Structure formats: C-alpha cells, structure tokens
Amino acid sequence: MKNKSLLVNILIFIACISSEARLPESWFFNHFNVGLEWGYTQCIARTWDYNIISEEGYRIYDEGREWMFRPNGSVLGQIGFLLNDDFVIALYSGFVGVGEDNRLMPVQLRLSWFPGPPDEDGGFFFFQGGPAFHLRQQETRPAWMFASGIGFRHRLNYDCNLDISLGLKYLNDHPLLPSPDGAGNVPAHNIRKNDAGYCALDLTLGFNF
C-alpha cells in the first residue's frame, strides 16, 4: 500500500514538473515567430547631390532629380516578437535590389501595428528602417533604407499566416562615382559629398510561422 502511495506521489510530481516545463515552451512559441518574404520593388525616382575634386584640383558639383523606372526584387527572412496584443517587432535581413545594378543586404527592424488580434485575419500598418550593406560595390559605408506601408494578414492555419503588404521605400546611398579624369572611380579623399536617394514602391508576399 505504501509502495502504491509512493508511486502515485511520484507520478503526480512528474506530471507537475512536466506541466511547468511546458510553460516556457508555450510562451516562446506564442511570442516568437519566423518567416520568409518575397517582394517586387519598382523604383520610381532618384535624386543625387555630388561634390568632388578632380585630379587637376578643380571642384565639380552635380545635383538633380529624375523619374527612374527600374524593377527589382527582394528575398528576406525575419524573426519577430509579439510585444503585446497590438504591436509586433521583427528583425529582417536578406537580399534587396534598388535602382540600377545596386544589390544590398539590409538589416532592419520593423514595427507592425495590428488594430485587431495579430493572429487573426485583418489589416496592419508597418514602419521599418536600418542599414543596408552593398554586395557588388566596393563602397564600405552602408546605405540606409526605410519603408512604411499597409498590409493584410490572412490566417492559413494555426501555425501559419500569409501577409500581403504594399509600402513606400526610400534608400539613402553613397555610390561610387566614375572619375571625370579617366578610367576608374573618384578616390575617397577627393569626395566631399556623394548622396543619392531612391524612392520605390514595394509589393511583398510573406509567410509567418
């Protein structure tokens, strides 16, 4: 009888320990998520403001703006955290194209606001920003990328959501400048200013797990 009582107590203890052990796991999966996002980026305009010194010593200024219609794409992965019933913050990184032959790897934080529960069908608003590192150019300074827009979340099942979003993206870049004196680029010590801005529309499709 004592053995049976001891066995029952042990089983109850193990059950309690197992139940408590599942709480952190449940909390983790209820607050963290991962996802993949594919996007179409349509560049619509660009600006530039350059100030350089030629090898012969004279200063060259060049600034302007123009319409620029150039399509690109993006592939991003993300890990997100549910702050509360309205806000989700996520870290995004991957590969993005903006402008002409300009490939970057962004590292961005995105804050999303869900007027309704984030795990149900409904709209949301987002803002994101962070540095973007060049993949093809030798430029060592990172660009800065920002985006803001709206989206709609459709719950596919208990573990997966489909997000469709439309946003306006802005990239502040510091591109390499072709030398006016011949082949190659303007050396860094001769550049006083080289700012370029790109404005683009983003249409993205993402899955969150």
More confident site: 1 or 38: 38
Mean pLDDT computed over 68-95: 95
Which tokens belong to 93? 């990184």
Bridge partners of 43, per DSSP, are 70, 200
Alpha-helix runs per DSSP H in the chain: 2-31
More confident site: 172 or 16: 172
Spell out the residues 6+ positions from residue 148 whose beta carbon is closer than 8 angstroms to its own: 125, 126, 127, 128, 167, 168
Burial of 6 (0-12, 13-18, 19+ CB in 10 A): exposed
Q: Is pLDDT above 80 for 10?
A: no
Q: Which domains does the chain carry?
A: 32-208 (2.40.160)
Distance CA 129, CA 22 (A): 35
Mean pLDDT computed over 177-189: 80
pTM (global) more than 0.85: no
Q: Quick check: 90 and 116 in contact, CB under 8 A? A: no
User: Is 175 in a helix, a strand, or coil?
Assistant: coil
